[in-house]
Structure 1
């Protein structure tokens, strides 16, 4: 059931994001009941002047449902400060080009002090997908992160984690140009809570296999994010300062992510 809900939310978010370009062309008269930030959310607390345009000169609380800040990029593991895995963690060796990060927000609440500065807290989901190189299977219900070497060849061997994240963002943005363009700089810390871990494998011998467990992923995680961009598109970088796993042999293994953000606002 939880997977179905998450899938529905993701599909809804992607559908709304697909309308970015079209929604940006709508004038403010067609949006008097609520403000749709670049077509990716419904915001409350916006005040409008007599022409129907949003009054951004005064401080106000803002928030609501939002399918935005869709981050798509790559993940990198850092083993005690090195991008090279230590011998004891070499089984986590992965295909860099297929190890990915995906996240998006579904709700936000904050305060806009003026047209250039806003603070808000958000809530959403994120996934890290590690494409393992070796033909191994992570073992569930083990006190430490444990694996067995398999005598078969996997065409896909993906080791994943999913979290509910709660970021606190500080947003600076420039004045709007005569073409309606603004530049955004957003940074802040976040905390996250583990939903589950998952192994997904595909092979000729076993077909498609999916197994869920916590796999000793850290139940609580903290880190920070930086974004910079304009007109609904940005680049992002994330670093998680906490250990990636609760398992003692993996102490010091952390991860980071970088890529593109769709729907920055």
Structure 2
């Protein structure tokens, strides 16, 4: 997971560097988004995935004109990297019955991204779209316990060995409905963006991953009573390709496990690639 996150961040940073390439000579040659050199005095229009960019090379700026219409395609965007927090019936402190899930806050993470989207653009500032991707929550447990597989309710055993890493994780297929607003671009082609809407998630799998001197690395897969269909809401805002996000799920984290009723998930952090 760490290698995957590092690779993604490097790719995002590299794409940002290339996207911000600007001309440096006195003839004011314009370098367009597809790296085509245009001679002075020429006026052209270029299309990018349904968007039309109008370029007048008498100056060094281009002005984007977003045409209304539907769009569909493969994407790699809305990359969320942040922290996950458990909320126990409105409290950030776990109740005694959920204390076995005590976790290390700075090592409990949320990571996700979108891979496909379909939407409709109303104008240059507003569009709506539904997308699909993946979302992981990794809880770094403090205690030396093992969450049990195939149990009638969420349960655990206390172990006599110490785990240097004890992760309790879930993976969901995420399907958000996004309402997207963007301001006018500045001279560098950047703008403020605000995205918000509801999101549903379909459970793909749960996992316990442990590392100890006695047993080495171990992985155990099960649904672990994670809610199979969760629902919540999100908000993202930022400038350029980077911003912040927050997500809250109104459904409980676990199902068919009465002791965990009211235990929910809140995530927040950085987001890349609006």
Common fold: TM-score over 0.5: yes
State the secondary structure of the residue aligned to 2:236: strand
1:213 aligns with 2:208: no
Is 1:252 aligned to residue 247 of structure 2?
no
Residue number in structure 1 paired with 2:15: 20
* Residues 1:75 and 1:7: Cα distance change in structure 2 (over 3 Å): closer
**Cα distance between partner residues in 2 of 1:119 and 1:212:** 36
Q: Aligned equivalents of 1:220 and 1:10: distance in 2? A: 26
Q: Distance in 1 between matches of 2:258 and 2:266?
A: 20
Q: Which digits, 9 at most, give the CA deviation of each residue in 1:18-76, with x for residues without a partner?
A: 432233136235389863xxxxxxxx333455869786353111231111111000000
Q: CA deviation at 1:11?
A: 8.6
Is contact 2:52-2:66 (8 Å) kept?
Answer: no
Give structure 1 stretches of 5+ with no counterpart: 1-5, 36-43
Give the CA RMSD over aligned residues. 2.5
1:122 aligns with 2:127: no
Q: Map residues 80-229 of structure 1 onto 2, 5 A cutoff.
A: 80-229=89-238
The alpha-carbon distance between structure 1 residues 33 and 173, as it changes in their structure 2 partners (threshold 3 A), is closer
Q: Retained in 1: the 8 A contact 2:55–2:63?
A: no
Q: Which range moves more in the overlay, 25-34 or 234-243?
A: 25-34
Distance 1:202 1:65 in 2: 37
Which structure 2 segments of 5+ residues have no match? 22-31, 37-44
Give 1:49-60 correspondences, 5 Å limit. Answer: 49=54, 56-60=65-69
Separation in structure 2 between the aligned mates of residue 192 and residue 69 of structure 1, nearest angstrom: 16
Between Structure 1 and Structure 2, the one with more helix by share is 1
Once the two structures are TM-superposed, the CA of residue 262 in structure 1 deviates from its matched residue by 1.1
Aligned length: 251
3-state SS of 1:114 partner = coil
Secondary structure of 2:35's counterpart equals: helix
1:131-160 C-alpha deviation (Å, 9 max, x unpaired): 001100000011210100000110000000
Point out the structure with max Rg over C-alpha: 2
Deviation of the 1:12 alpha carbon: 7.8
Q: Secondary structure at the match of 1:91?
A: helix
Distance 2:13 2:33 in 1: 20
Could you tell me which residue of structure 2 aligns to residue 262 of structure 1? 272
TM-score when scaled to structure 2? 0.84
Normalising by structure 1, we get a TM-score of: 0.87
Cα separation, partners in 2 of 1:103 and 1:12, compared to 1, 3 Å: same
